[in-house]
């Protein structure tokens, strides 16, 4: 569940592997046959040795397997690379997946999770868990309940970096949930606003030259100067997304053809398409990364792409930004666990059933607080009592509205669009 690069030497040949989501990043140049941790560092070495280096047009690049330079490629964590000729061989997925019940999956996972908790208890590094208003970090927090020396941290980005109204509303909900958790749980929990961490002009210029995310600027400074961290173990929850069926409903019916895989590619901003032909670049990405029909072996390509590009590129770049202040640990950063969290049905995954089962078993009070919504269980229960009508008491859930019209009582879904993930029930 940690970060590593594994190099195997066999018969004068070398083979390179990474951890499941490439928490310890690698980039490479095929012509010079050279690896590096950072694209800028590799670009400098290549320039000094008279290799062609072309800066891509956008400021930052985490799409597909892009880096900031055309000649430098990001390593795909689902691959093995042979150094003799710098060719890939796919090592994940390897086995066919079939659906399984939440109970069966958790029974299989529990042994591995228990061993990871045991390892964390014996680990002497200072350690902390980052907590948001979502389900993923709630699972990580629940699994660390019995670890005495763990801290919990919530941080918020400056408002200037939050561009969309949707993102602002998500942050507002996150603030309410995490503040409630801090106020009501007896744990060592800090909530910080990165706006409060000033940056000089010189620091800002340095970070803009090297970093891939703007929140990394202040976070790095907070870890280094405020917390004095060095090789502190950061327990993160990013790879958990693979167990949540985050893809749109239009992609529910899994398919093994390339056109369907193209539609499953996500996380590419509009600026990218101003400079590149997206369809062509996706096809080139598929060729470089050996994406062929049926490559998923029963998985959803949306999830596989999330692992190999969103985690293997975008997220792994973030881990560079707080190194050496922190090391990373993720309970699901293992191909075995990643397979297990994809086994429940799409409906169960969208309801977070497996993750709720883990929390219920380890620290059930964490389920009291809203998950990506501001109302906790108490407030949701208060919402249920709604209407007295001709001596009848009508109790409905919050997905329904009750109105009177012309002497009739109408009980209707609150939203015109019915969601398969919601319950619509009432009791008279």
Model's pTM, two decimal places?
0.86
pLDDT at res. 286: 98
pLDDT at res. 158: 67
Q: Where are the beta strands (DSSP E) in 157-301?
A: 189-193, 232-236
Contact assessment for residue 223 and residue 318, using Cβ atoms and an 8 Å cutoff: no
CA distance 289 to 271: 24
pLDDT at res. 402: 83
In this prediction, the residues of the chain whose per-residue pLDDT falls under 70 are 158-161, 163, 381-386, 421
pLDDT at res. 161: 67
CA distance 195 to 159: 8
Contact assessment for residue 24 and residue 326, using Cβ atoms and an 8 Å cutoff: no
Number of alpha helices (DSSP H) and beta strands (DSSP E) in the chain:
15, 17
User: The dihedral of CA 39, 41, 46, 47: what is its sign?
Assistant: positive
Instruction: Kindly list the distances between the CA atom of residue 66 and the CA atoms of 58, 63, 76, in Å, as whole numbers in the listed order.
Output: 11, 6, 11
Closest CA to 208 of 269, 162, 161, 268: 161
pLDDT at res. 384: 59
Which residues, 6+ apart, have CB-to-CB distance to 181 below 8 Å? 131, 189, 366, 369
In 3-state terms, what secondary structure has residue 249? Answer: helix
Closest CA to 68 of 82, 54, 80: 54
Contact assessment for residue 14 and residue 8, using Cβ atoms and an 8 Å cutoff: yes
CA distance 393 to 312: 54
CA distance 28 to 137: 32
Helix ranges, 334-376 (H) = 335-341, 346-350, 353-362
Rg of the chain, C-alpha, whole Å: 24
Helix ranges, 267-372 (H) = 270-275, 278-288, 301-305, 316-320, 335-341, 346-350, 353-362
pLDDT at res. 407: 82
Burial 226-250, CB ≥16 within 10 A → b, else e:
ebebeebbbbbbbbbbbbbbebeee
């Amino acid at each position: 569940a940690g970060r590593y690069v594994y190099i195997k030497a066999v018969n004068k040949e070398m083979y390179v592997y990474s951890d499941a989501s490439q928490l310890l990043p690698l980039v490479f140049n095929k012509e010079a046959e050279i690896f590096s941790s950072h694209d800028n560092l590799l670009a400098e070495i290549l320039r000094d040795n008279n290799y062609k280096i072309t800066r891509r047009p956008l400021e930052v690049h985490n799409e597909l397997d892009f880096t900031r330079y055309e000649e430098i490629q990001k390593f795909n964590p689902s691959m093995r690379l042979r150094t003799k000729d710098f060719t890939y061989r796919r090592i994940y997925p390897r086995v066919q997946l079939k659906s399984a019940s939440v109970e069966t999956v958790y029974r299989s996972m529990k042994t591995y999770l228990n061993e990871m908790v045991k390892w964390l208890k014996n680990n002497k590094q200072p350690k902390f868990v980052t907590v948001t208003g979502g389900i993923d970090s709630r699972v990580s927090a629940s699994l660390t309940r019995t670890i005495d020396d763990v801290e919990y941290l919530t941080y918020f980005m400056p408002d200037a970096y939050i561009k969309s109204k949707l993102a602002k509303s998500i942050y507002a909900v996150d603030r309410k949930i995490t503040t409630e958790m801090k106020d009501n749980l007896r744990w060592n929990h800090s909530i910080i606003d990165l706006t409060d961490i000033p940056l000089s002009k010189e620091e800002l210029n340095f970070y803009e030259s090297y970093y891939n995310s703007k929140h990394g600027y202040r976070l790095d400074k907070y870890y280094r100067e405020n917390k004095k961290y060095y090789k502190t173990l950061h327990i993160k929850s990013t790879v958990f997304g693979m167990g949540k069926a985050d893809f749109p409903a239009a992609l529910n019916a899994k398919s093994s053809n390339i056109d369907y895989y193209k539609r499953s590619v996500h996380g590419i901003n509009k600026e990218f398409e101003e400079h590149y032909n997206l369809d062509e670049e996706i096809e080139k990405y598929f060729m470089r990364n050996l994406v062929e029909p049926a490559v998923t072996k029963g998985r959803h390509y949306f999830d596989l792409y999330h692992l190999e590009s969103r985690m293997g590129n975008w997220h792994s770049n973030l881990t560079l930004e707080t190194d050496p202040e922190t090391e990373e640990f993720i309970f699901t950063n293992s191909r075995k666990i990643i397979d297990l969290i994809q086994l429940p049905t799409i409906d169960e995954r969208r309801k977070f059933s497996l993750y709720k089962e883990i929390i219920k078993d380890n620290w059930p009070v964490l389920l009291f607080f809203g998950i990506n919504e501001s109302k906790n269980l108490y407030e949701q229960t208060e919402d249920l009592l709604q209407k007295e009508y001709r001596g009848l008491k009508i109790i409905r859930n919050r997905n329904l509205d009750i109105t009177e019209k012309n002497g009739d009582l109408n009980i209707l879904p609150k939203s015109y669009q019915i969601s398969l993930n919601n319950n619509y029930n009432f009791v008279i």
